[in-house]
Amino acid sequence: MLRNLARPVLRATQRRCASTTTTATATSEIPLTNLELRWKTLSTQEQTSLAKHLEQVQAGDWTKMTLEQKKAAYWVAFGPHGARTPLTGPNHGLKVAAGTTGALGVSVALYYWIRSKGSERPSTTTKEWQEASNEYARANKINPISGVSSENYKGDGFVSLSKN
């Protein structure tokens, strides 16, 4: 009875060993030359099996590694793939500049369109009104320390610099 129970376990172990050998043979079949050019064409399974194979090679003596194995190990560890994939592509700066210029142009056009559709400017922005506000402030002694009604005041008061 013990023999019959051990038989399926033995078969499962043999299947696992067979799949490991096929992975190892598949890894050894992948050439390491120009790996950086061919990396994207490899399937995910080939990439992981190649990475595991290179880890096993690196676990041994590094002086016995070939130059191709060293280059491939460096590429797998530090190449621009996976987490190191660049976030921006070519001409990204040009695209950002064009988008910014476009958004600025639309906002300026929208500003002038809104200004053209708006009503007249308020009467309080005329120069006469602002000068009258200065006279009112002097007559009622508004802000006598540093404002229009202070002694020796030399500012424009409520008159703005815009010529409207």
Segment 48-97, tens digit of pLDDT = 888 899 899 899 888 888 888 888 888 888 888 877 778 888 899 999 99
Measured at the alpha carbon of residue 50, what is the angle toward residues 48 and 51, in degrees to the nearest 5? 65
Question: What average pLDDT is seen over the chain?
Answer: 80
Tokens, residue 78: 């530090």
Confidence of residue 13 (pLDDT cuts 50, 70, 90): very low
Give the pLDDT score at 35. Answer: 81
Burial 7-38 (b: 16+ CB within 10 A, else e): eeeeeeeeeeeeeeeebeeebeeeebeebeee
Give the pLDDT score at 102. Answer: 98
Confidence of residue 28 (pLDDT cuts 50, 70, 90): low
